[in-house]
A and B are shown apart, each in its own frame.
Chain A
Amino acid sequence: MRTYFHHIYQSVYTIMIGLSITFKQMFHKAVTIQYPEQRLQLPERERNRLFVNMEDCIGCDQCAKACPVSCIDIETVKVIPGDIVGKTGVTSQGKKKALHVTDFTIDFAKCCYCQLCVFPCPTECIYMTDVFEFSTFERNNLVYQFSDLTPAQSDEKKKMWADYSAEQEKKKAAAAQEAAAKKAAEEKTKAENKPADKPEAKNTPGNKETENPKES
């Protein structure tokens, strides 16, 4: 009989406690953060979408090499004399830029936000921003192009380099030919003086080490 009344007392008492707690909670301020309008302060070292400051990029390809998932794609073209990269041709730290970056894409569908690309950058031009809302309906829209050259401009730069290198090659070849002719003439004069074995079997003139930027 005692336990019977004790049960009644217990249940009424505990229900009262619960009700008082919920009633008190009604007047507390809501903890909801209404996301699109209200935002939490992001931590100082948050890692979100990358950004590349093309003013400073020298096209050294170190970020692409550091990337563990190969989401960075860089294509560069050498600068011909007389042309400058961007507006000034130097980075903000005064370093000379020797490469046109014709293509700098980061595929954020692949990116794992590890920040490994940020540390090797010599000019600190690639860094993490606080943008994290960039979902799209098309997966291709996640491939971001950072190069400041339009496709037409980069084609032009490529053509300029191709023309220039072809010209240089021609010049070199001509110079080499000239040199060879000179040499041959010298040899001839020497041979006329003292006949000897022929040094004609030398490798073809001209340095073949010109980079072909189209292959990168």
Chain B
Amino acid sequence: MENIFTKWLGDNILTYILIPIPVLIWVSLFALYAVLAERKVSAWMQNRIGPNRTGKFGLLQTIIDAIKLVQKEIVAPYRTDKFWYNLAPYIVFTAVFMGYAILPFSSVFISADLNIGLFYFFSITSISVVGVLMAGWASNNKYSLFGGMRTVAQIVSYEIPTALSALVVVMLTGTLSMQKYALIQEGGIFNWFIFGGPGDITKIILIPIMLVSMVILFISTLAESNRTPFDLTEADSELVAGVHIEYSGMRFAMFFFAEYAEMFAVSGVITTLFLGGWQSPFGELIPFLNSPVMQVFWFLAKSLTLVFVQIWFRWTLPRVRIDQLMTMCWKFLIPITLVNVFLVGIYMLIFK
């Protein structure tokens, strides 16, 4: 299916400039309300009320926070490396936002249906590492530098289980295009890859493998987006705030923006790989629920559920230590994903 924007506006350069705009609007709205959701969910989990003074249920809270941050003076410490210091937050956000290019919001809307979509996503979001290290180093602050270096160690390590757990789906489908993953999983909830994907009865063997793969993908993307329990880079009690220390005003907000944008991006990828992407859970039983507009709804609903799970994890689990973090990655996640890949290989040899 072709992109609705190219259908309406023709296949020219202006169209391709216009396509990211709805995505950017969505990311901005999401980042604003994810911050509010984070605060509200944390409040509920701690038997509090949460922000409720600004607007109904505090709905204007983050908008007002953003206005406050824009007004704030930007204070740069003495002897920072001005150019890199100023550039870093934007690199982090840009890298994350570029990942949105391959998120299939609907069967008729994807910014760029690359044939190497998944590979592109994992590689382009890794560029945020550069921005974080840049920020840490240019800030002229040892805590920032520690935070930046921890981030690099963490993200580079967790790239491996991320890629390996996604590889299971790649092996079964034989494609890297995000739109194709969603298309393959058509026909209701039992054709999603978390339940082994479409296929005959033998796919029951795949269910535990897929479940484990999805959990590992979730854990490792959690680590890649520096969320609790893997927020060693921010570690308030040890590093004050990691790379954020020396940033103020809108530059600080950009880091936040990037973090929340990445939360949704990785949730979107997990949704596309394992939860059927934009497919309705009822398949073709009710054709209306699988119309292009409803597909957007399903995609957002699934992704936002995963975002909620991320928030839920954040307010449940304490932060892991750096050695525990590395042990978990190298001794547990990577071997298990390798076994998964091996088992799926055997399955494909026998049944396909």
Contact = CB atoms under 8 A, between A and B. Distances in A.
A214 interface: no
Contacts of A203: none
B317 A25 contact: no
A210 interface: no
A26 B313 CA distance: 13
A94 interface: no
A18 interface: yes
Given A18-B316, A30-B44, 9 more contacts: A22-B312, A22-B315, A25-B46, A26-B44, A26-B45, A28-B47, A29-B47, A30-B48, A31-B47
A22 B316 contact: yes
B48 to A, nearest CB: 5
A21 B332 CA distance: 26
Contacts of A32: 47-49
Interface string B316-342: 110000000000000010000000000
13 contacts: A7-B332, A15-B317, A22-B45, A22-B312, A22-B316, A25-B44, A25-B45, A26-B44, A26-B45, A28-B47, A30-B49, A31-B47, A34-B49
A4 to B, nearest CB: 8
Given A18-B316, A19-B312, A19-B313, A30 B47 contact: yes
B246 to A, nearest CB: 33
Interface of B: 41, 43-49, 312-313, 315-317, 332
Interface of A: 7-8, 15, 18-19, 21-23, 25-32, 34
Contact of B317 (A18, A27, A30): A18
A19 B44 CA distance: 13
- Nearest 4 pairs between A and B by C-beta? A26-B44, A22-B316, A18-B316, A30-B49
Given A8-B332, A15-B317, A18-B317, A25 B47 contact: yes
Contacts of B312: 19, 22-23
A34 to B, nearest CB: 7
Contacts, number: 36
Contacts of B313: 19
Contacts of A7: 332
A30 to B, nearest CB: 5
B41 A31 contact: no
* Best-buried of A21, A29, A30 by chain B (most CB within 10 Å): A30
Given A8-B332, A26-B41, A31 B316 contact: no
A32 B45 CA distance: 13
Quick one: which of A23, A29, A32 has the most chain B CB within 10 A?
Answer: A32
B322 to A, nearest CB: 17
A160 B38 CA distance: 72
Contacts of B317: 15, 18
A22 B318 CA distance: 13
B146 to A, nearest CB: 26
A25 B41 CA distance: 10
B21 to A, nearest CB: 36
Contacts of A18: 316-317
Contacts of B43: 30
A26 to B, nearest CB: 4
A103 B48 CA distance: 48
A22 B47 CA distance: 10
B207 to A, nearest CB: 17
Contact of B316 (A8, A19, A27): A19
A101 to B, nearest CB: 45
A7 B327 CA distance: 12
B53 to A, nearest CB: 9
